[in-house]
């Protein structure tokens, strides 16, 4: 097993990580505010045409051929070397006629569909409602399970992870669609699990009588050192799985994989630098977990 005993004196690393997390959140918020999200076809609506070609083409080569037909405002996505999707906000059919007239390409339309903007708006609203409901459920669970300082640390860590992932999509201009929204729900679950592991360990150590004389700083460092091996193994195996989906599943799941990969990385960071560190700044102490007796019980305990 990897020895992380050096982390027992690594408080400065946690606070540096907290400062770095704050900078990441500010950067993400700036990206969302100034660049906005590249909303996908699921939310904006429009026309979707899926087709294949007999000749192997790169996306840029096919883009040149489509642009020659004079259409604008479209998004071309390569599903494979001979399988493509074209999305348009308004129907412009001359591009398809131009490609079908090209005998070398032998274009074959697999499917053509239309999604109204009203349906897209409803999907976005329902997705955001699901995200909000998940956050409320998590907050209620944390409020019952932890003392309020640890609960606030876990909630802030969740918000940190969501904001950074959404900000990443804003800065990179990646398509934000239903699969990405679903990945945010998965990130909430993963980050919550990570924060609970650390929070539970902190609570356990604070309740041990022999640790009453230790500073909260030392107790939190000990908790992180004792759980970090489990955290890294869990994160590492999950990242390997997500990376495989990213590399092998193709374009339809690319956004989902990128969001989940980024969420796992920042979720691991936040469980240490926010979920464990913020409660310390809010005044967490061993006194918060001492058993407090009512007046009657205390009087009975004080009797000779």
For residue 58, the enclosing domain spans 46-115
DSSP secondary structure letter of residue 84:
E
DSSP secondary structure letter of residue 55:
S
Residue 141 lies in a domain: yes
Output the CA–CA distances (angstroms, integers) from residue 278 to 4, 17, 57, in the order listed. Answer: 21, 11, 52
Grouping H, G, I as helix, E, B as strand and the rest as coil, residue 227 is helix
136 and 249 housed in the same domain: yes
174 and 214 housed in the same domain: yes
Task: For residue 202, give the H/E element and its range.
Answer: helix 178-207
Query: In the chain, how many domains are there?
Result: 2
Residues 206 and 217 sit within 8 Å (Cβ to Cβ): no
Residue 123 lies in a domain: yes
Last residue of a domain, one of 96, 115, 134: 115
81 and 228 housed in the same domain: no
Q: Mind listing the pLDDT tens digit of every residue in the chain (304 residues)?
A: 445 444 455 567 888 888 999 999 999 999 999 988 888 777 777 778 888 888 777 778 788 777 777 777 777 777 777 788 888 777 666 777 777 666 667 778 887 777 766 656 676 777 778 878 888 888 888 878 788 888 888 889 989 999 999 999 999 988 888 888 888 888 888 888 888 888 888 888 887 766 566 778 888 888 888 888 888 888 888 889 888 888 887 777 888 899 999 999 998 889 888 988 888 888 877 676 665 444 444 444 344 4
Give the per-residue pLDDT at 110. Answer: 83
CA dihedral 168, 171, 177, 183 (to 10 degrees): 0
Last residue of a domain, one of 100, 115, 130: 115
> What does the alpha-carbon distance between residue 191 and residue 157 come to, in Å, rounded to a whole number?
8
Grouping H, G, I as helix, E, B as strand and the rest as coil, residue 285 is coil
222 and 107 housed in the same domain: no
> Taking the CB of residue 283, how many other CB atoms lie within 10 A of it?
10
Give the per-residue pLDDT at 43. Answer: 75
Residue 294 lies in a domain: no
Grouping H, G, I as helix, E, B as strand and the rest as coil, residue 46 is strand
Output the CA–CA distances (angstroms, integers) from residue 58 to 61, 173, 179, in the order listed. Answer: 5, 21, 25
106 and 141 housed in the same domain: no
Residue 111 bridge partners (DSSP): 50
Question: What's the half-sphere exposure (Cβ side, CA atoms, 13 Å) at 204?
Answer: 11
Residues 277 and 153 sit within 8 Å (Cβ to Cβ): yes
> What does the alpha-carbon distance between residue 191 and residue 34 come to, in Å, rounded to a whole number?
27
What pairing do the DSSP bridges indicate for beta strands 108-115 and 74-80?
unpaired
105 and 170 housed in the same domain: no
């Amino acid at each position: 097993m990897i020895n992380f005993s050096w982390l027992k004196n690594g408080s400065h690393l946690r606070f540096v990580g907290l400062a770095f997390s704050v900078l990441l959140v500010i950067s993400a918020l700036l990206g969302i505010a100034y660049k906005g999200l590249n909303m996908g076809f699921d939310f904006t609506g429009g026309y979707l045409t899926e087709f294949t070609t007999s000749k192997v083409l790169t996306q840029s080569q096919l883009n040149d051929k489509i642009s020659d037909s004079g259409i604008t405002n479209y998004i071309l996505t390569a599903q494979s070397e001979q399988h493509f999707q074209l999305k348009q906000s308004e129907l412009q059919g001359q591009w398809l006629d131009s490609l079908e007239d090209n005998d070398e390409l032998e274009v074959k339309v697999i499917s053509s569909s239309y999604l109204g903007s009203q349906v897209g708006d409803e999907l976005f609203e329902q997705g955001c409602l699901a995200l909000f409901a998940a956050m409320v459920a998590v907050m209620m669970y944390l409020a019952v399970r932890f003392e309020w300082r640890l609960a606030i640390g876990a909630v802030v860590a969740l918000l940190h992870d969501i904001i950074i992932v959404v900000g990443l999509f804003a800065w990179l201009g990646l398509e934000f669609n239903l699969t990405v929204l679903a990945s945010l729900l998965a990130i909430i679950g993963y980050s919550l699990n990570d924060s609970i592991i650390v929070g539970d360990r902190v609570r356990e150590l604070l309740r041990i009588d022999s640790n009453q004389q230790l500073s909260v700083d030392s107790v939190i460092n000990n908790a992180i050192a004792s759980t970090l091996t489990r955290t890294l193994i869990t994160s590492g195996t999950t990242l390997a799985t997500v990376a495989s989906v990213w590399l092998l599943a193709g374009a339809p799941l690319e956004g989902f994989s990128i969001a989940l990969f980024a969420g796992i990385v920042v979720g691991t960071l936040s469980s240490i630098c926010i979920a464990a560190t913020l409660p310390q700044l809010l005044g967490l102490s061993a006194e918060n977990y001492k058993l407090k007796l009512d007046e009657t019980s205390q009087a009975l305990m004080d009797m000779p």
